[in-house]
Amino acid sequence: MYQLRQLTLGLVGLSLARCAFATDGESSVKSLKTDTFKDFVTQHDLVLAEFFAPWCGHCKALAPEYELAASELKEKNIPLVKVDCTEEASLCEEYGVEGYPTLKVFRGLDSPKPYNGARKSQSIVSYMIKQSLPAVSKVTPDTFEAVKSLDKIVVIGYFKEDDKASNETFTSVAEALRDEYLFAGANDVAMAEAEGVSQPAVVLYKDFDEGKDVFTSKFDQDALTRFVRTSSTPLVGEVGPETYSGYMAAGIPLAYIFAETPEERTQFAADLKPLAKKLKGSINFATIDAKAFGAHAGNLNLDPEKFPAFAIQDTVKQTKFPYDQTKKIVAEDISQFVQDVLDGKIEPSIKSEPIPESQEGPVTVVVARSYDDIVKNNDKDVLLEFYAPWCGHCKALAPKYDQLASLYANNPDYASKVTIAKIDATANGSIYSFMRNGSL
């Protein structure tokens, strides 16, 4: 309760802080040195510290964003500080600073936590506000509107004060996801009614798409976690360094729309939004800047020179479904393609040489398409050589490798237990990513 009062006041303070920054130009970021740092951190519950070097380009890029975040968070009593590591080398060393800028969240001097979010004022402000709140804040009719607008995404649980089970489920989800989303709990029955839900219920509020989503499944931790993840993902988002790992961890496929201009991306996003809405929870849709990240199209077995392009990646099985690049990207056709992929009617794309019709030499020739049969789903032990046709050491090994293979092939007892094989890794690059992605 106290926390939220403070926050509500903070919101009012926010606009004032912006004014103050604009007029007097004095920095809101506190500069600290070895002899002032520890006292300052000890005297404040929560501090964000930037360790920087004056010559560092990324630090210069961060500076205006950090300043803006500091002026907004000042009113909430969350100080942002900075330490010049060229002057305070031993202090920086003590906190394990290895690169610039390094941002760390301090709650006292021990075990600060790295800030790995985006270096944008809004991301910093949103993250630090969540850090300053308990995992679940209480919300009342008076604070409802203010709390709802505190962050891009706010998850509110509506349950009775004595409903321990719902409280525990909600709180454990909140504790696991508190760095990413703001969680609050409301006990007032009338508040639930006003939102058109009956206790226990969860509503996720967001400042995009439908504005809010109501959790309708059984009140359990997995279902609730999935709901928060799904509902907080924009219908058609954008793949970039900040969102990529989230999409990969989502547990559902990702459909990429590669386009070179922002206008095209906006248009495709609008065209495919109804489809994304229909399939929400089964597959994510996102545009991707083909100018900046076009090379990624190659990983999806698309021609990385030809845009716009569309592809689906099954993020669990690590399979890829590139859409025919000679076709136009039209919502109706894409809808059919996506449905066919989801229904398992389309074979995943594998870059592969054709499977040899017969094995000529003693060494078994493997290609990507026969990899599973010969190497994975097979009782025999397999020695597999990854080679390149142009590689001298591979050529030198070849006669000996043939010899070894003959030795095994000519002994029926060995031949039934061991396969000696080779794969042209230049014609078969994706094999490596199969392995990295743990499908072995």
Ligand X SMILES: *[C@@H]1O[C@H](CO)[C@@H](O)[C@H](O)[C@H]1NC(C)=O
Q: Under the criterion CB under 6 A, does residue 368 sit at the interface with ligand X?
A: yes
Q: Using CB under 6 A, which of the segments 242-250, 313-321, 397-405, 422-430 binds ligand X?
A: 422-430
Q: Under the criterion CB under 6 A, does residue 402 sit at the interface with ligand X?
A: no
* 59 noted as active-site residue: yes
* 56 noted as active-site residue: yes
Sequence-ordered list of residues with C-beta below 8 angstroms from that of 422, at least 6 positions apart, any chain: 363, 364, 365, 366, 384, 385, 386, 387, 401
Amino acid at 364: T
Q: How far is the CB of 367 from ligand X (least distance, A)?
A: 4
Which position among 56, 92, 391, 394 bears the catalytic label? 56
Which position among 59, 92, 391, 394 bears the catalytic label? 59
Nearer to ligand X, 248 or 425 (CB): 425
Q: Is the dihedral of CA 253, 258, 261, 264 positive or negative?
A: negative
Which residue's Cβ lies closest to ligand X?
A: 428
Distance CA 76, CA 12 (A): 10
User: Can you tell me which residue has the tokens 């002026």?
Assistant: 71
Write the interaction track for ligand X spanning residues 174-203; mark x where CB under 6 A is met and - where it is not: -----------x-x----------------
Q: How far is the CB of 435 from ligand X (least distance, A)?
A: 11
Give which of 114, 234, 243, 239 is closest to 179, Cα–Cα.
114
Q: How far is the CB of 262 from ligand X (least distance, A)?
A: 31
Distance CA 197, CA 216 (A): 10
Distances (CA, A) of 150 to 160, 209, 343: 23, 17, 40
Nearer to ligand X, 404 or 425 (CB): 425
Considering only residues 346, 382, 427, 437, which one is a binding residue for ligand X as defined by CB under 6 A? 427
- Asked if residue 185 lies in contact with residue 156, where contact means CB atoms within 8 angstroms, the answer is yes
Q: Using CB under 6 A, which of the segments 3-11, 141-149, 333-341, 350-358 binds ligand X?
A: 350-358
Q: How far is the CB of 251 from ligand X (least distance, A)?
A: 25
Nearer to ligand X, 185 or 253 (CB): 185
Cα of 127 vs its chain's centroid, Å: 16
Write the interaction track for ligand X spanning residues 103-142; mark x where CB under 6 A is met and - where it is not: -----------------------------------x----
Distances (CA, A) of 292 to 242, 257, 260: 14, 13, 8
Q: Which two tokens stand for residue 118?
A: 């985006």
Considering only residues 353, 372, 385, 402, which one is a binding residue for ligand X as defined by CB under 6 A? 353
Distances (CA, A) of 369 to 263, 321, 360: 39, 15, 18
Q: How far is the CB of 356 from ligand X (least distance, A)?
A: 10
Residues that bind ligand X (CB under 6 A): 138, 161, 167, 185, 187, 350-353, 367-368, 423-425, 427-431
